[in-house]
């Protein structure tokens, strides 16, 4: 039963005005060897490239690979599903070319093992034995662990022969496999190729211009013959092997086994080994990438560190969120309600005239102490933060006031004397105040008493000469007119709200005292740092992206033979595309980690320098975990984009041309 049946397999090339045509008709049985000879330029390589499924025939009468379990119509596959040919190359073909095409980053043993791994054979004692057997057979045992660059030409070529035989392909093809060797070594290598193929029952086609060598190696050789020109300027050569015509297969060609799914670990291994082999270049790329990322991280760290520290400091100041009018005015209930309704306002309580809010704390046997009374109400952020809002009959005093009242304790009743003058006569009432809490100096450093706003308003009413019947305070009959307020205490919801609320009050004619300047300074600093980060980041990353993309493209071009050899061994195009992408991924990962390390050092130095200025728990340079994760993701995405730029080149590259050029 023949293995390979080819008739009128034809390839045309046009070079300028001349048309070149090579034709072949031959039949090969398993284990059979065939030599193709002929003068240089007669189309030997062209025929072999067609047999190796590297270049598409211009025309094919018949192009069949008959395997024990299936017949593959290669001509039909070229027409209908050329992407499936990779699986056939991988499993059924072995190729030795003139340059050897060994992977420089794999040892001799690993180079030979590769086709087995590509075909899904794990490293087992059985596959290892197969490799060792070939190493012995080809006399490579002593150099098995060396890299190809340290080998002699002869050893390299024998390694390439071993690699073409190891997976026991049905068909082994060799294009001038020994042309770079001296005659003796060449003959030895050729003999090994022939016997190796015969032992594995593989059919063998060897191209060589050296007819004598083929004869000596016991390979029956056929020369390509020039055909008569049909037109002027047309060169035709044909290779015809007389063979009995066999029946065309009647059954439809069986489906070609699909390529195994992505063999990710193997691709990863190949990409990593190459990356490591070219460590100097890889190191440069990583370092350059890291040089672009590190300043970004440090700027980002400063932005979050310093700004967060300053903002937190401001927030720690209880007055930071306060918006208090400078001067007294007259506000109606409606005005106060309108202020309360402002979206970013968290708390408003109406206030009386300052002059009317001074009281005396009078205790027996002690001199009276004066203090100003301030209104409070449920939700007062200042009191809620430090103590709590006092109930109806309670009050909170400041530490400053408490210092003037020896032995004062929470829960005690303190008498407050409220005085007024009616027709020049002094009058007063005493209000028993229950001490609910004491505010620390950090909250308010003046002598103040915080009371529920209703009490303060009653005090004002009493001072104005009116009676407050529910408290038993005498005076004139209260008039029915609307209540008016002299001011208010206000807190906004966040630091960001300080400036808008201040501006809104200004629009309503109220000048308010705020920490807006400090907030503005911090916000300005934050925007400046953001801008600098964006500017520095934009420029460095754009430059980085261009240089990485060029590096990736240059790498792909430089390693064209690597990719062509991968194609020969049955790596699909998408798998080849993944290799530079994976390497870009390694670059990004290492670069991001390097910049993280450098950033760590910079952060330590910054923290150390800023230490005298920092308080407990504060940082000068701090990058949140989410930002670091985003940085890794960004670096990865950028690297992948750069890798994709190089893939464009891979999509259009022609392996057969690369193999010719680099042979
Ligand atoms: P041989 O291997 O016998 O020396 P080749 O098969 O390499 O010959 O080349 C046969 C002819 O085809 C040569 O004239 C060569 O210039 C031409 N040729 C080969 N490949 C191409 C191609 N891709 N495009 C155009 N012409 C080509
Ligand atoms: Mg050639």
Tell me what pLDDT residue 175 has: 93
Q: What number does the ligand 1 atom closest to the CA of 207 have?
A: 2
pLDDT of 288 strictly over 60: yes
Tell me what pLDDT residue 204 has: 96
Q: Which residue has the higher pLDDT, 516 or 54?
A: 54
Q: Is 203 in the pocket of ligand 1 (CB under 6 A)?
A: no
624 alpha carbon – ligand 1 mean position (Å): 61
Q: Which of 16-20, 188-192, 295-299, 549-553 has the least mean pLDDT?
A: 16-20
In the numeric block, which tokens belong to residue 524? 């300005």
Domain ranges (residues) in the chain: 32-223, 279-315+521-661, 322-347+488-514, 353-484
pLDDT of 617 strictly over 70: yes
Q: Which ligand is nearest to the CA of 175?
A: 2
Q: Is 44 in the pocket of ligand 1 (CB under 6 A)?
A: yes
Residues 464, 408 contacting (CB under 8 angstroms): no
Global pTM? 0.75
Write the secondary structure of 437-472 as one string of H (helix), E (strand) and C (coil).
EEECCCCCCCCEEEEEHHHHHHHHHHHCCECEHHHC
Render pLDDT for 114-151 as a digit per residue (tens, 0 to 9). 999 999 888 888 899 999 999 999 999 999 999 999 99
Distance CA 195, CA 181 (A): 19
Render pLDDT for 60-82 as a digit per residue (tens, 0 to 9). 888 999 988 888 899 999 998 88
Q: What number does the ligand 1 atom closest to the CA of 39 have?
A: 3
Mean per-residue pLDDT of the chain: 89
Q: How confident is the model at residue 243 (pLDDT cuts 50, 70, 90)?
A: low
In the numeric block, which tokens belong to residue 264? 């990710």
Q: What number does the ligand 1 atom closest to the CA of 175 have?
A: 2
448 alpha carbon – ligand 2 mean position (Å): 102
HSE value, Cβ hemisphere, 13 Å, CA-based, for 646: 30
In the numeric block, which tokens belong to residue 522? 């911090």
Q: Which ligand is nearest to the CA of 58?
A: 1
Tell me what pLDDT residue 249 has: 55
Tell me what pLDDT residue 253 has: 53
Instruction: Please tell me the residue having the least CA distance from ligand 1 atom 13.
Output: 41
pLDDT of 628 strictly over 90: yes
Q: Is 42 in the pocket of ligand 1 (CB under 6 A)?
A: yes
Tell me what pLDDT residue 260 has: 61
Render pLDDT for 207-239 as a digit per residue (tens, 0 to 9). 999 999 999 999 999 999 988 777 777 888 888
CB atoms closer than 10 angstroms to residue 191: 14
Distance CA 381, CA 127 (A): 76
Tell me what pLDDT residue 123 has: 83
223 alpha carbon – ligand 2 mean position (Å): 13
Q: How confident is the model at residue 649 (pLDDT cuts 50, 70, 90)?
A: confident
pLDDT of 108 strictly over 80: yes
Tell me what pLDDT residue 259 has: 58
Per-residue pLDDT averaged across 26-45, rounded?
A: 92
CATH architecture entry for 32-223: 3-Layer(aba) Sandwich (3.40)
Residues 315, 495 contacting (CB under 8 angstroms): yes
Q: Which ligand is nearest to the CA of 179?
A: 2
Tell me what pLDDT residue 607 has: 92
98 alpha carbon – ligand 2 mean position (Å): 9
């Amino acid at each position: 039963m023949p293995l390979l049946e080819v008739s009128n397999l034809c390839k045309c090339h046009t070079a300028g005005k001349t048309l070149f045509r090579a034709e072949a008709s031959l039949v090969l049985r398993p284990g059979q060897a065939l030599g193709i000879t002929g003068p240089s330029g007669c189309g030997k390589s062209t025929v072999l490239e067609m047999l190796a499924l590297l270049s598409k025939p211009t025309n094919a009468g018949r192009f069949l690979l008959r395997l024990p379990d299936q017949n593959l119509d290669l001509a039909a596959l070229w027409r209908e599903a050329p992407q499936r040919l990779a699986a056939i190359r991988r499993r059924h073909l072995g190729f030795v070319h003139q340059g050897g095409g060994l992977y420089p980053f794999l040892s001799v043993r690993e180079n030979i093992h590769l086709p087995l791994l590509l075909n899904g054979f794990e490293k087992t004692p059985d596959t290892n034995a197969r490799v060792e057997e070939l190493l012995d057979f080809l006399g490579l045992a002593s150099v098995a662990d060396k890299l190809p660059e340290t080998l002699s030409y002869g050893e390299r070529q024998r390694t390439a022969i071993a690699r073409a035989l190891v997976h026991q392909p049905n068909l082994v093809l060799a294009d001038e496999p020994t042309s770079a060797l001296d005659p003796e070594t060449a003959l030895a290598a050729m003999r090994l190729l022939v016997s190796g193929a015969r032992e594995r029952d593989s059919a063998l086609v060897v191209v060589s211009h050296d007819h004598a060598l083929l004869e000596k190696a016991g390979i029956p050789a056929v020369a390509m013959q020039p055909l008569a020109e049909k037109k002027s300027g047309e060169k035709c050569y044909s290779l015809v092997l007389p063979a009995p015509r066999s029946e065309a297969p009647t059954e439809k060609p069986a489906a070609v086994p699909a390529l195994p799914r992505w063999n990710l670990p193997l691709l990863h291994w190949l990409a990593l080994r190459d990356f490591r082999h070219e460590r100097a270049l890889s190191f440069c790329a990583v370092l350059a990438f890291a040089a672009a990322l590190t300043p970004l991280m440090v700027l980002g760290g400063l932005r979050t560190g310093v700004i967060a520290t300053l903002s937190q400091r401001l927030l720690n100041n209880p007055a930071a969120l306060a918006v208090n009018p400078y001067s007294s005015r007259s506000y109606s209930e409606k005005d106060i309600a309108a202020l309360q309704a402002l979206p970013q306002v968290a708390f408003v309580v109406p206030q009386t005239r300052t002059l009317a809010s001074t009281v005396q704390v009078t205790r027996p046997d002690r001199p009276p102490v004066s203090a100003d009374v301030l209104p409070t109400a449920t939700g007062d952020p200042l009191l809620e933060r430090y103590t709590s809002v006092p109930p109806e009959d309670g009050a909170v005093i400041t530490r400053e006031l408490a210092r003037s009242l020896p032995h004062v304790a929470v829960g005690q009743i303190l008498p407050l004397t409220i005085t007024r003058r009616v027709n020049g006569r002094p009058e007063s009432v005493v209000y028993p105040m229950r001490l609910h809490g004491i505010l620390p100096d950090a909250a308010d450093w003046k002598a103040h008493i915080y009371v529920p706003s209703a009490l303060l308003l009653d005090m004002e009413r009493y001072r104005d000469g009116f009676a407050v019947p529910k408290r038993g305070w005498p005076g004139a009959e209260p008039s029915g007119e609307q209540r008016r307020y002299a001011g208010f205490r206000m807190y906004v919801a966040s630091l960001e709200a300080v400036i808008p609320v201040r501006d809104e009050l200004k629009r309503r004619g109220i000048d308010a005292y705020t920490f807006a300047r400090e907030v503005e300074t911090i916000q300005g600093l934050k925007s400046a740092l953001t801008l600098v980060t964006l500017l520095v980041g934009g420029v460095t990353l754009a430059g980085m992206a261009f240089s990485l993309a060029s590096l990736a493209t240059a790498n792909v071009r430089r390693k064209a033979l690597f990719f062509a050899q991968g194609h020969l061994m049955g790596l699909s195009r998408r798998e080849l595309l993944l290799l530079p992408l994976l390497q870009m991924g390694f670059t990004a990962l290492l670069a991001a980690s390097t910049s993280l390390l450098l950033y760590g050092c910079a952060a330590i130095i910054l923290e150390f320098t800023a230490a005298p200025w920092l308080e407990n728990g504060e940082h000068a340079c701090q990058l949140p975990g989410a930002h670091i994760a985003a940085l890794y993701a960004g670096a990865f995405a950028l690297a992948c984009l750069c890798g994709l730029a190089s893939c464009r080149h891979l999509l259009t590259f022609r392996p057969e041309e690369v193999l010719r050029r680099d042979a």
